[in-house]
Amino acid sequence: MNADELMRSDGWTAERIPDLTGRTFVVTGATSGLGLATTRALADHGARVVLAVRDEAKGRRVVADMGGADLEMRRLDLADLDSVRDFADRLHTDHARVDVLINNAGVMAPPRTLSPQGHELQFATNHLGHFALTGRLLDLLLAGRDPRVVTVTSVNHRQGKLPSTDPTGAHGYSPMRFYNTSKLANAIFGLELHRRLSAAASPVRSYLAHPGYTATNLQTSATTPLWRLLLGRIGNPLLAQPVERGAWPQLFAATDPTAQPGLLIAPDGPGELRGHPAPGRLSEAAIDPDNGRRLWELSEQATGVRFDSLPTSG
């Protein structure tokens, strides 16, 4: 039985996470939703978890609530590239390695807002910040044991299109259209990172995961009233799975020895909305190598971060 068949058939749950004692994980967006569920599961299995959080008060509460766990909290605003640089610099001062980076944090369907560097907020937070963070932590990952980068995307990536004109929505802003674009960027980035790591024969491996339809604060705190109603008040009670189950795909990608890099790991139920971790379906736009190169170049220009140790793919 190959790894794909194993993932499809054996009903993996977080109870099967191996002992993680001595391993260091960085989780973005660790104070709520999928990030908090992921942090709890990792800590329950002995991991040291660095909580990369925008709201330090929430971060302190999480650490206090999980007394006895091996946690540390550090501020990170992914929308602000200066904050990403400062976070990475501080992490380098007292960590010799990072074993796994989980690019989990995200925002969904806000009113049109620009980041401090002038990028659309969802694209800046969900993609550009994680691109820059991964590049700035790559040397720590190279020193890690079974090092992995897990980037969290969404089924919505299949509705996304890369921005060509009007990348900030100045001439017509649809919150969900830009959310879908940011999730497509996550998928493209995870695959292009896999290509480049493989070409460099790097020990670091890149994974993609999505949670299906999971009840999180993304839906209930969406700042656009219509989406808050449709997703949070109607969709969640009818369709969503608990957040602990929604975290299974990214936990599988981050910890399981059978997880295959370069795949999307998703729920195995109808529509990939709920279920156990299994290989998911990526859109044609996500797997297009030309899109990978294009997004990579755009991201380097936007962030000023270059993965100098990795060759160009293709």
The 10s digit of each residue's pLDDT in 116-166 is 999 999 999 999 999 999 999 999 999 999 999 999 999 999 999 998 788
Q: How many helices (H) and strands (E) does the chain have?
A: 14, 8
pLDDT digits (tens, 9 = 90+) for 51-105: 999 999 999 999 999 999 999 999 999 999 999 999 999 999 999 999 999 999 9
In a domain, 309, yes or no: no
pLDDT tens for 191-231 read 999 999 999 999 999 999 999 999 776 545 555 565 555 55
Tens digit of pLDDT for each residue in 263-286? 999 999 999 999 999 999 999 999
| Cα gap 265→187, rounded to integer Å | 11
pTM here?
0.92
d(CA 202, CA 197): 5
Catalytic residues: 179
Whether 227 is covered by a domain: the verdict is: yes
Specify if 310 maps to a domain: no
> How is residue 248 written in tokens?
């299974």
The b/e string for 39-73 (b: 16+ C-beta within 10 A; e otherwise) is bbbbbebebbbbbbbbeeebbeebbeebeebbbeb
pLDDT exceeds 70 at position 186: yes
Q: What is the dihedral of CA 295, 296, 302, 305, to 10 degrees?
A: 160
Residue 10 included in any domain = yes
**Which pair of tokens denotes residue 313?**
């793919």
- Whether 311 is covered by a domain: the verdict is no
Sequence-ordered alpha helix ranges (H) in 66-174: 81-94, 121-122, 129-142
Instruction: Assign residue 265 the CATH number of its domain.
Output: 3.40.50.720
Provide the residue range defining the domain that includes 150: 3-303
| Assigned token pair, 283 | 């859109």
Within a domain: 70: yes
Q: Is 257 contained in some domain?
A: yes
Q: What is the pLDDT of residue 309?
A: 78
Question: What average pLDDT does this structure show over 170-181?
Answer: 95
Where are any strands of DSSP class E within 153-308? 205-209, 264-267, 277-279
Count of the separate structural domains present in the chain: 1
